[in-house]
Chains A and B, each alone.
Chain A
């Protein structure tokens, strides 16, 4: 099963990559060369599974703007929402026509949906990655005042060990926000009091309001409060330090380990069965747009980062698979997946 996933994803992506020459002189002309004769004759739909205005929606709309600029094709962003993304994921995997007119702009949260919630109605095989966009890593932030003021991550974890269940931490139930706490608790023996919220942003708000002691969120969610001095970053769950916050350690550095990697990876997919030439062209569109510094600058302004393992990857489906595997192993280890 695992191997078929790999093979499928790899084969699909290979097609997308072949098309991209290493040194393109004129991206527009290079892209035009790949354009299938009969495609597209109507606008291409970028499906976003979260509501308009959110982080994922902004990512897709900025991409659409630049894909239009480079390809001259018309792109429409469509929000198919519901079930915390599940409705849109299922739509892409089981209902969307694989004719090249549907592209999913997804976050890696789709992996958890596929492995834990899809109930064999669909799997990751049904979605073929065609391009990497950007990443956001989960960060723990503390308060700039109060009893835990000025503490490092180690000190807070120690405090959680000394007085179990007293440090209030904001979480989003049944997702990576929960999983990261779980890992820290399992490795250190500390115990936190988890206060559930519907998203990272709501948790940050509760932190600033003094209703929790630690919150978890993305840089874009807390940087405003960081600038005004009301929150203090503790550690980030990525493989390397963030450019924006060079002083903040990673979880792996602070706690010693290699398993603390929780990030949202954003990428584009097409439904399985999309004709190879169209898939290659759609992939090339995304990758041409991603080479445009104007787009990457706009993404950076939003506070995201580019994973060096994935940015400009020669085989994005294959490289994403490493992350899928790590997540699968966590689910297996914690008894969530057999």
Chain B
């Protein structure tokens, strides 16, 4: 079945009142889950999984998938308005998005985030429509050495995220690596840095770290400034992005879409990695990188597009190979299996109604989400008028609920609190938290892929050069590092 015929089948499946309703419902829930800090798509999907048992397989999947990408739309809202990420994939959006809000341009930031999400989401589905089998075939050949190359490139990109002191930034990356080393060693199964604690044997939970560092720490930091009763007292101007905003944002959106899509395909990758890398990329290629961190619209447009494209990218391996790359897509796979459907290489030909139905629903869902989110921009902006004494207890409550719901383990709450206090102190000392998080996310993948590559290689480290894709990725990383040093020494020479 060719792509267009398949898509027609898909639309014929999806254009029933019930399925459209489920898609809309999922979009609304997803937006809400994204907006609420602490509660992320994983918690929402796990909670709603039983509800889908009573639905048809198509209906259930349509709803769950739309919650997943819907959360990517909503996630930026609190990042921009409150400097508290709605979910992990919107952490970087805080950096410039919140600065824009402080400059009275919250509306523009929210609008660009919604439009970027729509464009990236739709582009992702278009690519999925026409190339899913091809992409799946390429993705499965991506082995440990290729993953290692990609992770090194990612690591080099994190160097560009450092603002202020390089030493402090590198220190945060090192700390991120160290924290990620806690848990069971991937190669010999031994426990590391667990101090005999059962709770540490699986490592530190990413969600607890992110909610602590960004949610709890931000609340703590703001409690100091309780004197002023609302976040922004001035009127919010410019509810919509201007033509100039649009001109600055469209290229980052397209780059973010491409980057996010590719990172979504990689096992262990997904929206979180995609948003960080996109931010680093935009900062790297910007004419004036110094604008970043001070309200650069590229820093919102890129990552917010990247995380949506990553959703489309990460759904491909699940539907066309039955391979989930992250916990959310693992849940989607589980939902299909409970309905008695086992996705695999033949899924597309054996269950075209399901495969194409889900693809078609993603076109419709993205339109729903755009129509839903643009008018909401004005409403969300009103959040800023809520007094701190009401807002922050709610944020803390949601943080606790969101953290606990991930593993149902009270220990994670202590981790969240610990990282909250640490984040507060580190911020006071002017340490960047974003490099810590991205190092924490990349480290396990980096370590595992390197050690796997070395184990499976007959010629030791040579495998990294023998694999063309790996060699190419490593070469790119090397060039980036050299460029960074030459630029640095040039600026230092100039200032002398």
Instruction: List A residues at the B interface (Cβ < 8 Å).
Output: 51-54, 57-58, 61-62, 65, 77-84, 86-87, 90-91, 117, 119, 121, 166, 168, 173-175, 178, 193-198, 201-202, 205-206, 208-212, 220, 223-225, 227-228, 230, 298, 301-303
Contact = CB atoms under 8 A, between A and B. Distances in A.
Given A90-B198, A193-B455, A210-B141, A79 B344 contact: no
Contacts of B330: 51, 53-54
B494 interface: no
29 contacts: A54-B334, A58-B334, A77-B50, A79-B407, A82-B199, A82-B205, A82-B411, A83-B202, A84-B201, A86-B202, A87-B407, A91-B409, A168-B456, A173-B188, A194-B455, A195-B144, A196-B188, A196-B455, A198-B186, A206-B143, A206-B144, A209-B141, A210-B143, A211-B456, A224-B322, A224-B344, A225-B345, A230-B345, A302-B337
Contact of B202 (A87, A197, A220, A302): A87
Contact of A87 (B198, B335, B342): B198
A108 to B, nearest CB: 17
A228 B50 CA distance: 31
B285 interface: no
Contacts of A205: 140, 267, 321, 323
A65 B45 CA distance: 18
Nearest to A78: B408
A79 B406 CA distance: 8
Contacts of A225: 344-345
| Size class of the contact patch on chain B | 35 or more
Given A62-B338, A79-B46, A228-B344, A84 B455 contact: no
Contacts of A298: 340
A211 B466 CA distance: 13
Secondary structure of the A contact surface, majority rule: mixed
A119 to B, nearest CB: 8
Contact of A227 (B143, B201, B346): B346
B286 to A, nearest CB: 36
Contacts of A301: 340, 342
Nearest to B458: A166
B134 interface: no
Contact of A224 (B144, B202, B346): B346
The 9 closest A-B pairs by CB, nearest first: A224-B344, A174-B189, A53-B334, A211-B143, A173-B189, A53-B331, A83-B201, A83-B202, A228-B345
Contact of A52 (B49, B188, B346, B448): B49
Interface string B295-336: 000000000000000000000000001111001001111110
A50 to B, nearest CB: 10
B195 interface: no
B187 interface: yes
Contact of B452 (A86, A196, A223): A196
Contacts of B199: 82-83, 87
Contacts of B338: 58, 61-62
A193 B321 contact: no
A204 to B, nearest CB: 8
Contacts of B201: 82-84, 86-87, 117
Interface string B359-385: 000000000000000000000000000
Contacts of B407: 79-82, 87
B455 A52 contact: no
Contacts of B190: 174
Contacts of A82: 199, 201-202, 205, 407, 409, 411-412
A53 B49 contact: yes
B321 A61 contact: no
Contact of B331 (A52, A174, A209, A228): A52
B350 to A, nearest CB: 9
A52 B47 CA distance: 9
Interface in B222-246: none
A142 B194 CA distance: 37
B55 to A, nearest CB: 14
B142 interface: yes
Given A78-B408, A80-B408, A193 B198 contact: no
B184 interface: yes
Nearest to A298: B340
Contact of B49 (A61, A119, A121, A194): A61
B202 A84 contact: yes
A114 to B, nearest CB: 12
Contacts of A52: 45-46, 49, 331, 334
Contacts of A83: 183-184, 198-202
B343 interface: yes
A81 B408 contact: yes
Q: B185, B198, B322 — which one has the most chain A CB atoms within 10 A of its CB?
A: B198
B250 interface: no
Contacts of B347: 224
B337 A58 contact: yes
B53 interface: yes
A53 B202 contact: no
B168 interface: no
B284 interface: no
Contacts of B102: none
Given A57-B334, A196-B452, A224 B49 contact: no
